[in-house]
Amino acid sequence: MIKKNNRVALVGIGAMGTALAQTLLENEIEIHVWNRTPEKIETLAQKGAITYTQPHKAIESCDIVIVCLSDYDAWKEIIDYENVRSSLKSSILIQLSTGSMAEVEANSLIMKDLDVELIEGSILCFPEQIGTELASIILAGKSDVIESCDSILRLMSPKISYLGESLSAPVVLGNAIMSSVLGFSAGLINGAALCLKGDVPLKSYREQTVHNFARMQTEPLRILDAIANQDTENTQASVSTWYDAHLKLLKISDKLGVDTRFHQGLSLMFKETIDQNIGGHDLSAMVKVFSNKN
């Protein structure tokens, strides 16, 4: 696939969209910008972006269209604007908005009818990291289409992970990463609450957290490898061992008056794993319970 020009239309100028636009401008890419709130694009206009009051005007002169909105509801409204669908015809659409699997699938059918080459993606970093080595964008779609946009994509994120042609793959992986990040963050905050209620200095908690980071860099990889290799029998701390420790954590939380709702669901998962007679296995064996919704 060959692009006819190096101009990029950008729809959606929130914090992330602004970061994408600024990075492209800094690399001398001609960008055509539209946003529902016109005030947000004034700064970009001063930096050289070509701005529009109607979305189809930004789209129609570009072969590559990047959409970065907070959700798919916003995108569904925009594609019903006057002339937007006709302006999208035969373009490459890089969809970086947050959506569900059902929304991604519905959008793919609309784009197929418009002869649009669709790249579905998720951004797994903060706006300030766009354009740096810390940026990360995951993508799915036809490999030749993604390859044709490679130079643009790598300006926004030197690290690009290609997940194949299943357009829902970035949604699944993005939420998997979200699950791990939220689980860690919520557990960290819960630990801080225990320290505060138990008169333990947060400075000491912070020092131990830093000390544990070295182990936490390898433990997630060990667990993922055990799951991938279906080898959950080898362990230094079984599910039952972790469950016993978790019950003690719940008792201490109750004594200190710390809310236990975050941990109650996890306790049920531990118990169900043990009920399946794999309590002697590694913690990674719990993937069997998480994978079977009752």
Please state the domain extents for the chain.
8-167, 198-290
Helix (H) or strand (E) holding 143: helix 143-148
Q: Which fold has domain 8-167?
A: Rossmann fold (3.40.50)
CATH entry, 198-290, from 1.10.443.10, 3.40.50.2000, 2.40.10.120, 1.10.1040.10: 1.10.1040.10
Q: Given the structure tokens 């916003």, which residue do they identify?
A: 74
- 280 in Cβ contact with 240 (< 8 Å): yes
pTM of the entire predicted model? 0.85
What mean pLDDT is predicted for residues 235-239? 92
Q: Which residues contact 86 (CB under 8 A, 6 or more apart)?
A: 56
From residue 221, give the alpha-carbon distance in Å to each of 214, 216, 218, 234, 245.
Answer: 12, 9, 5, 15, 22
**Equal CATH topology for 8-167 and 198-290:** no
pLDDT band at 294 (very low <50, low <70, confident <90, very high): low
pLDDT band at 213 (very low <50, low <70, confident <90, very high): confident
Tell me the backbone φ, ψ of residue 229, rounded to 5 degrees.
Answer: -90, 0
pLDDT tens digit sequence for 272-287: 999 999 999 999 999 9
pLDDT of residue 6 exceeding 80: no
3-class state of residue 67 by DSSP: strand
pLDDT tens digit sequence for 30-83: 999 999 888 889 999 999 999 999 999 999 989 999 999 989 999 999 999 989
